[in-house]
């Protein structure tokens, strides 16, 4: 379980630079990010060192922001590692909205951020199947 910060951005020059500057000046470190873009707008998704503060400073800077629950899954850092996690999710019919990689590792594992439709069910299944995921405080401190 972790909090992701999502930001609505128009496709305009300098918007991404502005978001990252605002976070930088607030002393917030970006740990993972992804952008989903369309022709008019993009949605920036961030895992940061301090999500509550990031939410506030971005809101103060007049961005449209929301907090989203995601799950940071430990994936064996070897060929087929992600595939086996995804296959188990498919088997359980756990649908994934989107995913992206985390910058950094946990022991021998890579980290992948998942946004799933039903997060509590996902957690239950991960626990049953022995798929490891990080609690939020560990994640922000990585």
Partner 1 sequence: MTYWDKEKECMPREQLQKLQLRRLQETVYRAYAFVPAYKEKMDQVGVKPEDIKSIEDINKLPFTTKQDLRDNYPFGLFAVPMSDVVRIHSSSGTTGKPTVVGYTSKDIDTWAELMARALYCAGASKHSVVQVSYGYGLFTGGLGAHYGAERVGASVIPTSGGNTHRQIMLMQDFETTELMCTPSYALFMYEVMREMGIDPSDLKLRAGIFGAEPWSENMRREIENKLKIDAYDIYGLSEIIGPGVAIECNRKAGLHIGEDHFIPEIIDPETCEVLSEGEEGELVLTTITKEALPIIRYRTRDLTTLNMERCECGRTHARMAKVLGRSDDMVIIRGVNVFPSMVESVLLNIPGVEPHYLLVVDRKGNLDELEVHVEVSEQVFSDEVRKMESLGLQISKELESALGIAVRVRLVEHKTIERSEGKAKRVIDKRNI
Interacting residues toward partner 1 by CB under 8 A: 4, 6, 8-10, 15, 36, 38, 40-41, 43, 45, 62-66, 68, 97-98, 115
Residue 136 burial (C-beta neighbours within 10 Å; 0-12, 13-18, 19+)? middle
Residue 39 in tokens = 């022709």
Nearer to partner 1, 87 or 117 (CB): 117
How near is the Cβ of 79 to partner 1 at its closest, in Å? 30
Q: Tell me the C-alpha distance between 140 and 13, whole Å.
A: 29
How near is the Cβ of 97 to partner 1 at its closest, in Å? 6
Q: Which of 48, 39, 43 minimizes the C-alpha distance to 4?
A: 48
How near is the Cβ of 91 to partner 1 at its closest, in Å? 24
Nearer to partner 1, 58 or 106 (CB): 58
* 66 SS3 class: strand
């Amino acid at each position: 379980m972790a909090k992701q910060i999502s930001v609505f951005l128009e496709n305009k020059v300098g918007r991404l630079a502005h978001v990252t500057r605002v976070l930088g000046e607030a002393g917030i470190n970006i740990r993972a990010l992804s952008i989903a873009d369309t022709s008019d707008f993009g949605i920036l998704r961030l895992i940061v060192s301090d999500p509550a503060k990031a939410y506030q400073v971005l809101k103060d800077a007049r961005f449209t922001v929301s907090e989203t629950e995601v799950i940071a899954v430990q994936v064996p850092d070897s060929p087929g590692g992600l595939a086996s996690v995804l296959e188990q999710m498919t088997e359980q019919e756990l649908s994934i909205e989107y995913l992206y990689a985390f910058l950094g590792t946990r022991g021998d594992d890579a980290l992948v951020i998942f946004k799933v439709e039903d997060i509590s069910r996902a957690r239950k299944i991960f626990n049953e199947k022995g798929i490891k995921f990080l609690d939020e405080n560990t994640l922000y401190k990585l």
